[in-house]
Structure 1
Amino acid sequence: MEDEFSKEDEDFLNKLDYDTVVQKVCQEIDVNNGSIKELKQGSAIVFLETSRKMALDKSGLIHSGNLYSSAAYAALLSVNNPNAIVIGAEVKFLAPLEVGNEVIFKAQTLQEDTKKREVKVEGFVLDIKIFDAMFYIAVFEKHVLSLHIAKEMDKKKG
């Protein structure tokens, strides 16, 4: 009986989660942008714990740029392509945050078959929606810095 139970445990522990994917983007990002709680094909969840370093003032109001950064991080993770960059966003900050608040950002890629992707990102404190955005992400064949766009433009001018 005990051997049978151990075999079941072993099978469960070795079972692959086919929904989970390997992180291919933002591998060098600062931990203050949040931590990955879930990464699946076309979606990601990022957890942000706000700190004093993010405060605008003595009362502890969190700078909105920190929220944007974590949301953009979640959006890029949901696309999970190392040649992807944010090219635009429509953002709504729905409530102020203070030092110590914990935010969950949920990102969902709306389509995955084009070079321009739309990613819906929502942020929650407990069950309260405090952030809502649509991120526009371009996916290139090569890393954007290897494209040498400026050099090519100079060649055409000269």
Structure 2
Amino acid sequence: MEEEFPKEEEDFLSKPDHDSVLQKVCANIDANNGSIKELKYGKASVVLETSSKMVMDKTGLIHSGNIFSSAAYSAMLAVNHPNAIVIGAEVKFLAPIELGNEITFRAETLQEDTKKREVKVEGFVLDIKIFDAMFYVAVFDKHVLSLHIVKEMEKRMD
């Protein structure tokens, strides 16, 4: 009698990539915040190519607000929930950035099952760590602005 092996429903080439996810946040964000390099469950990577629009002086120093914005974008992508917002951050700028530098931000959520999430974000120019942060992201059942609109409408009806 021949030994029977359980049939695999799919071979490894046709299996879906369970790590990849669809982008649910920041769909209309300006390209100056960076471009998505990787988007997986609980992780994201964003590349920021510095431009002359980000320069704050004649030496080519990039404004830290542009760096923060791209890091926050990567944090939001890591959470990837349409009703999430950044509610806080602890940030360290470890080195100045100049025009022409390309920064790669790597974001990873530290827990997935709470309404308040911590997201670790690190930024690198080549292999040099230039940015380190912890972002705090709140996840709501409904969009945060719709909650305020409903309350305002109720007040006006009284």
TM-score category of the 2 structures, normalised to the smaller one: 0.7 to 0.9
Task: Find out whether 1:139 has 2:144 as its counterpart.
Answer: no
SS of the residue 1:85 aligns to:
strand
Partner of 2:27: 27
Unmatched 5+ residue regions in structure 2? Answer: 1-10
Paired amino acid for 1:93: F
Deviations 1:46-88 (Å, cap 9, x if unpaired)? 0000011100011100000000000000000000000000000
Paired amino acid for 1:95: A
SS of the residue 1:147 aligns to:
helix
Paired amino acid for 2:57: D
Name which one, 1 or 2, has greater alpha-carbon Rg.
Answer: 2
Q: Percent identity?
A: 77
CA distance in 1, matches of 2:127, 2:148: 45
CA distance in 1, matches of 2:100, 2:150: 43
Task: Find out whether 1:53 has 2:53 as its counterpart.
Answer: yes
Partner of 1:122: 122
Task: Find out whether 1:69 has 2:69 as its counterpart.
Answer: yes
SS of the residue 1:60 aligns to:
coil
Paired amino acid for 1:118: E
CA distance in 1, matches of 2:20, 2:151: 39
After TM superposition, what 4+ stretches of structure 1 lie above 4 angstroms from structure 2?
Answer: 11-15
Q: In the TM superposition, what is the alpha-carbon distance from 1:150 to its structure 2 partner? A: 8.6
Q: In the TM superposition, what is the alpha-carbon distance from 1:148 to its structure 2 partner? A: 1.4
CA distance in 1, matches of 2:48, 2:148: 35
Partner of 2:40: 40
**TM-score, structure 1 length as denominator?**
0.87
Structure 1 or 2: larger helix share?
A: 1
| CA RMSD after TM alignment | 2.0
Task: Find out whether 1:78 has 2:78 as its counterpart.
Answer: yes
Unmatched 5+ residue regions in structure 1? Answer: 1-10
CA distance in 2, matches of 1:15, 1:81: 25
SS of the residue 1:120 aligns to:
strand
CA distance in 2, matches of 1:53, 1:18: 38
**TM-score, structure 2 length as denominator?**
0.87
